[in-house]
C-alpha cells in the first residue's frame, strides 16, 4: 500500500509555543502513522501561499501549523490549484477562532491525531474583492489591534494579548472620540445606508475570541455568511453590553443587526481599514463579497456545524492536472478573477453534489498587495532534520 504524502507548512513563531518544540512532535506522529512528508517553514508573510503553489506536487494533503493567518495563506494557495487537496490545520496561534469553530483540538498532538484519522468536511470560503478568506472579514473600531498587537506579546499571553492591547490600552479610550463610518450596504435585493461603528462578515462561532455567536445560528457549508453590524454606541462602556447582547442573540435591528447573505456590496465615502482572518486586509472604498459554497475540504473531528457528509482522506487521489487551455496572450489583470473562479468550478466537478454556484464575480478594487515571493526555507523531508529559519513571522 502506498504511503500518503503530506506537505507540512510550519510557522515557527506563532502562538505561545516556539516552533522548534512542537514541530518534532508533529513529525513523530506522522512518521508513526507511516506518512511521507515534506516540511517547509515560513519566515515572512506570503510564504505559506507560495509553498502550496510550488511544492504541492503529488502530495495527498497539505497541513499547516500556525495561527489563523497561516491557515488563510494556505487556503489561498490551495485555491490556486487545479485539483482539490484536503487541508489539515494544527492550531498554534493566539486565539484560534477557526480551530474552535471547525472542531479541532488546540493541543498540538491531539490536532495532529485528528488529521491522521482523516475525516474531511467541505467548507465555505468568502471572497473579499479578489482575495479569499476563511472565517472573518471585519472593519471599524478596534480591528487594527488584531494585526498591530506585537508578536512577542501574543506569544507570551495568547488571547489575553488581544484583550490587553485592543480593549484595555486602545479601544476603550478610542471610543470616547471615535466617529461612525458611513456605509451603503447592498445585499439580496436590499439596501441599508447608515453610520456604523463596526461590521464583520463571518463564518465562525467567534471573532477574536470576544464576539461569540450561538452555534444554532451558524452552519459552515450552507453557502451563507453572517453579517454583524454595530450601529449605535452611546458610551465606551456600552461596548461590553454589546458583547453580551451578541452572545444572548439580542439583535434588536437598531443598535445591533445580524443578517445572512451570500453576496454583499459595501460602499464607503473613503478607504476603510479591514482585517481578513486577523491579518491586514487593505483600505478599499468598495468591497464586493461573495461566498464560494463548499469550496475546500478541511480535516476535523465530528461537528454538527457541517451539514454535508464527511469523507475519508483516502477518497482523494492525486490526479494528473487538466491541460491548461487559457489563452497565453491574455495577461490583463481583470482575467485573474475569471481564472480563479474557473479553477474553483473545475475542482468541484469531482464532488458528489456537483458544481456549486460561486455568485457574482468580485471586483478587483482592493489595496492589498500580492504575496511576497516564496522563501527557500526548506527544512528537510526527514524526521530528524533540524528546524531552520526561525525569523519572526508576520502571521499569528
Give residue 206's pLDDT. Answer: 75
Q: Looking at the predicted structure, is the pLDDT value of residue 293 above 90? A: yes
Flag the least confident range among 34-43, 50-59, 63-72, 341-350. Answer: 341-350
Give residue 231's pLDDT. Answer: 85
Q: Looking at the predicted structure, is the pLDDT value of residue 391 above 90? A: no
Give residue 90's pLDDT. Answer: 94
Domain ranges for the chain, please list them. 5-130+292-348, 136-289
Q: Which residue has the higher pLDDT, 2 or 246?
A: 2
340: helix, strand or coil: helix
Give residue 24's pLDDT. Answer: 87
Flag the least confident range among 67-71, 83-87, 126-130, 383-387. Answer: 383-387
Quote the distance between the C-alpha of residue 220 and its chain's center: 13
Give residue 81's pLDDT. Answer: 96
| Percent above pLDDT 90 for the chain | 39
CATH annotation of 5-130+292-348: 3.40.50.10330
Quote the distance between the C-alpha of residue 365 and its chain's center: 20
Give residue 129's pLDDT. Answer: 95
72: helix, strand or coil: helix
Any residues with CB less than 8 A from the CB of 298 and at least 6 apart, and which?
86, 87, 88, 89, 102, 120, 121, 123
Kindly report the number of other CB atoms within 10 A of residue 205's CB atom. 21
- Mean pLDDT highest for which of 134-148, 253-267, 320-334? 253-267
- pLDDT range class, residue 6, cuts 50, 70, 90: very high
Kindly report the number of other CB atoms within 10 A of residue 185's CB atom. 21
Give residue 340's pLDDT. Answer: 60
CB-based contact 280:147 (threshold 8 Å):
yes
Give residue 317's pLDDT. Answer: 52
- pLDDT range class, residue 208, cuts 50, 70, 90: low
Flag the least confident range among 64-73, 133-142, 202-211. Answer: 202-211
Give, in words, the CATH class of 136-289.
mainly beta
The half-sphere exposure of 94 on its side-chain side, counting CA atoms within 13 A, is 30
Q: Which residue has the higher pLDDT, 62 or 366?
A: 62
- pTM surpassing 0.85? no
Mean of all residue pLDDT scores within the chain: 75
Give residue 197's pLDDT. Answer: 86
Q: Looking at the predicted structure, is the pLDDT value of residue 286 above 50? A: yes
Give residue 290's pLDDT. Answer: 96
Q: Looking at the predicted structure, is the pLDDT value of residue 381 above 80? A: no
Rounded mean pLDDT, 36-47: 94
Give residue 392's pLDDT. Answer: 36
Q: What sign results for the dihedral spanned by CA atoms 376, 377, 380, 381?
A: negative
Give residue 42's pLDDT. Answer: 95
- pLDDT range class, residue 315, cuts 50, 70, 90: low
Exposed/middle/buried for residue 272 (C-beta within 10 Å: 0-12, 13-18, 19+): buried
Rounded mean pLDDT, 128-136: 92
**Phi-psi sector, 20: left (phi>0), alpha (psi -120 to 50), beta:** alpha
Rounded mean pLDDT, 299-304: 88
* pLDDT tens column, 212-264: 777 888 899 999 999 989 887 766 666 667 767 766 667 777 788 889 999 99
Beta bridge partners of 136: 202
Amino acid at each position: 500500500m502506498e504511503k500518503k504524502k503530506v506537505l507540512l507548512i510550519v510557522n515557527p513563531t506563532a502562538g505561545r509555543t516556539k516552533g522548534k518544540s512542537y514541530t518534532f512532535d508533529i513529525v513523530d506522529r506522522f512518521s508513526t502513522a507511516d506518512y511521507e512528508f515534506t516540511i517547509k517553514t515560513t519566515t515572512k508573510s506570503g510564504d505559506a501561499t507560495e509553498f502550496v503553489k510550488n511544492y504541492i506536487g503529488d502530495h495527498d494533503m497539505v497541513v499547516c501549523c500556525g495561527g489563523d493567518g497561516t491557515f488563510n495563506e494556505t487556503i489561498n494557495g490551495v485555491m490556486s490549484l487545479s485539483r482539490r487537496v484536503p487541508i489539515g490545520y494544527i492550531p498554534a496561534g493566539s486565539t484560534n477562532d477557526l480551530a474552535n469553530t471547525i472542531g479541532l483540538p488546540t493541543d498540538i498532538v491531539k490536532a495532529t491525531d485528528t488529521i491522521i484519522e482523516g475525516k474531511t468536511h467541505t467548507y465555505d470560503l468568502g471572497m473579499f474583492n479578489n482575495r479569499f478568506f476563511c472565517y472573518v472579514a471585519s472593519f471599524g473600531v478596534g480591528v487594527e489591534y488584531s494585526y498591530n498587537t506585537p508578536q512577542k506579546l501574543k506569544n507570551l499571553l495568547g488571547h489575553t494579548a488581544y484583550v490587553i492591547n485592543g480593549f484595555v490600552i486602545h479601544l476603550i479610550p478610542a471610543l470616547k472620540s471615535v466617529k461612525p463610518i458611513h456605509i451603503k450596504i447592498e445585499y439580496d435585493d436590499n439596501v441599508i445606508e447608515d453610520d456604523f461603528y463596526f461590521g464583520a462578515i463571518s463564518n465562525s462561532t467567534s471573532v477574536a475570541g470576544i464576539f461569540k455567536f450561538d452555534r444554532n445560528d451558524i452552519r459552515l457549508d450552507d453557502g451563507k455568511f453572517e453579517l454583524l453590524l454595530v450601529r449605535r454606541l452611546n458610551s465606551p462602556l456600552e461596548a461590553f453590553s454589546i458583547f453580551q447582547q451578541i452572545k444572548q442573540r439580542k439583535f434588536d435591528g437598531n443598535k445591533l443587526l445580524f443578517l445572512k447573505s451570500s453576496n454583499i456590496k459595501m460602499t464607503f465615502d473613503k478607504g476603510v481599514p479591514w482585517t481578513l482572518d486577523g491579518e491586514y486586509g487593505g483600505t478599499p472604498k468598495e468591497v464586493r463579497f461573495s461566498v464560494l459554497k463548499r469550496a475546500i475540504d478541511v480535516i476535523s473531528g465530528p461537528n454538527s456545524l457541517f451539514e454535508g457528509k464527511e469523507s475519508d482522506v483516502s477518497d482523494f487521489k492525486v490526479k494528473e492536472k487538466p491541460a491548461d487551455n487559457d489563452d497565453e496572450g491574455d495577461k490583463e489583470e481583470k482575467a485573474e478573477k475569471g481564472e480563479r473562479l474557473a479553477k474553483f468550478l473545475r475542482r468541484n466537478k469531482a464532488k458528489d453534489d456537483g458544481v456549486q454556484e460561486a455568485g457574482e464575480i468580485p471586483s478587483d478594487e482592493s489595496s492589498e498587495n500580492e504575496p511576497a515571493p516564496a522563501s527557500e526555507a526548506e527544512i528537510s523531508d526527514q524526521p530528524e532534520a533540524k528546524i531552520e529559519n526561525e525569523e519572526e513571522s508576520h502571521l499569528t
